[in-house]
Amino acid sequence: MHGMTKPELPEWVSAEVFRYLEHTVAQVSIRELARKGDCHPSTVLRQIRRLEQRREDPLVDGCLQTLSDAYAGDQLRGHGAEIADFSKEVIARCLSHLAQPGAVLVAGRDMEKAVVVRDVGTTVQKSIVDRHIVEMLALVEWISCFASGQVYRYRITKDGRTALAEYLAEVENQRRRRAETLTQSGISGVIGAQGREDIGPSRRARYGLQETPLQTLSRLTDRDGNLFLSPEMVRAGERLREDFELAQIGQHIASDGAFTEVGATDRCVTAKAGPTREAFQRAAEALCALGPGLSDIALRCCCHLEGLEAAEKELGWSARSGKIVLRIALEQLHQYYSAKPPQNVMIG
């Protein structure tokens, strides 16, 4: 074999595509490819024929042509930018546009760019995407063509949605790990900095300056650009945490959710009277109103400031499920506090 070797190709190039390039560019026989791949020659033949049929798609054809030219060239000369490993942020951004309801990617053989089109009421949203990115997405079958003609139309596939979810979860986990490099409690910091003029109402300093799990999630947006957590939901979580901190019961409440069990208020509350007991009762009533499950994630993420990944692991939940459950809990918590008299507000 001559030309490029598999380690020199981008990571997203599959073994099937590599065999196709070896056969069509390097003229390696099918039997030799089967011997190297420890499979039957008919298997390699079917893979090569399948890719030949897929070249009717202009995006697949363009990507294979770029890879073939680079394979026959010298160390990706002239093609490094087109077939290099793309950042996950770029891929996730493109797939996010396609994952929106009614989104369609439009591309043609002579079009230098591709366009993601989506009808929103009486207007049409358009997003320009680099052609070499969508060519890669078509080759790995994260998008598929459903209409051909002068232009070709594509939709995101099931594999594409799975890849998008994995990329978004990885990006969120990276952000969470950066935010959790500081102390989990969130108490350390400059509590006395409340009087600084550069700290407004939206950034309270009484819990420290590092981000809490709610603050991290409050920056996320959905497919339509709306905030994942509304300001009302974030304030509801902060209100619960304030009562929890004022009651000074963090070290007495087990993380297994015993706080919400029937009769837990009478067992756990001390003989203290005044604001401490009142704060304890307010926090206990709010968590009891959420019920099992919702109160578990609210207690861990809002009060104990545990990250979602750690909370999911402790509760035995599947990955990325805690984010959705926490959002539901905060929404119900907001409704619960909205029904309370106006004097029951936050102190900070």
pLDDT tens digits, one per residue of 167-204 = 877 776 766 666 555 434 443 333 333 344 444 444 44
Residues β-bridged to residue 28:
none
pLDDT of amino acid 250: 41
CB under 8 A, 24+ apart: contacts of 240-243 = 240/283, 240/286, 240/287, 240/298, 240/302, 240/303, 240/333, 241/207, 241/212, 241/302, 241/303, 241/305, 242/279, 242/346, 242/347, 242/348, 243/279, 243/280, 243/282, 243/283, 243/286
Average pLDDT, the chain: 75
Is 60 exceeded by the pLDDT of residue 209? no
Is 90 exceeded by the pLDDT of residue 221? no
Which tens digit of pLDDT belongs to each residue from 290-329? 888 888 888 888 888 888 888 888 888 887 788 888 888 8
Which tens digit of pLDDT belongs to each residue from 249-302? 444 443 344 445 545 445 444 444 567 788 888 888 888 888 888 888 888 888
Is 90 exceeded by the pLDDT of residue 49? yes
Provide the Cα torsion 99, 103, 109, 113; round to 10°: -80
Which tens digit of pLDDT belongs to each residue from 52-76? 999 999 999 998 988 888 777 744 4
pLDDT of amino acid 274: 65
3-class DSSP string for the chain: CCCCCHHHCCCCCCHHHHHHHHHHCCCCCHHHHHHHHCCCHHHHHHHHHHHHHHCCCHHHHHHHHHHHHHHHCCCCCCCHHHHCCCCHHHHHHHHHHHHCCCCEEEECCCCCEEEEEEEECCEEEEEEEEHHHHHHHHHCCCEEEEECCCCEEEEECHHHHHHHHHHHHHHHHHHHHHHCCCCCCCCCCCHHHHHCCCCCCCCCCCCCCCCCHHHHHCCCECCCCCECCCHHHHHHHHHHHHHHHHHCCCCCCCCCCHHHCCCHHHHHCCCCCCHHHHHHHHHHHHHHHHCCCHHHHHHHHHHCCCCHHHHHHHHCCCCCHHHHHHHHHHHHHHHHHHCCCCCCCCCC
Could you tell me which residue, 207 or 172, shows the higher pLDDT?
172
Is 90 exceeded by the pLDDT of residue 143? yes
Which tens digit of pLDDT belongs to each residue from 92-110? 888 888 988 889 999 988 8
Entry pTM: 0.49
Could you tell me which residue, 5 or 137, shows the higher pLDDT?
137
Domain boundaries, the chain: 6-73, 88-162, 171-338
Copy the structure tokens of residue 53. Answer: 């049929």
Is 80 exceeded by the pLDDT of residue 347? no
Lookup result for tokens 């978004």: 168
Is 50 exceeded by the pLDDT of residue 7? no
Copy the structure tokens of residue 144. Answer: 């598929």
pLDDT of amino acid 262: 47
* Domain 88-162: top CATH class: mainly alpha
Copy the structure tokens of residue 191. Answer: 């509590």
Could you tell me which residue, 22 or 168, shows the higher pLDDT?
22
pLDDT of amino acid 76: 40
Is 60 exceeded by the pLDDT of residue 32? yes
Is 90 exceeded by the pLDDT of residue 218? no
Is 80 exceeded by the pLDDT of residue 47? yes
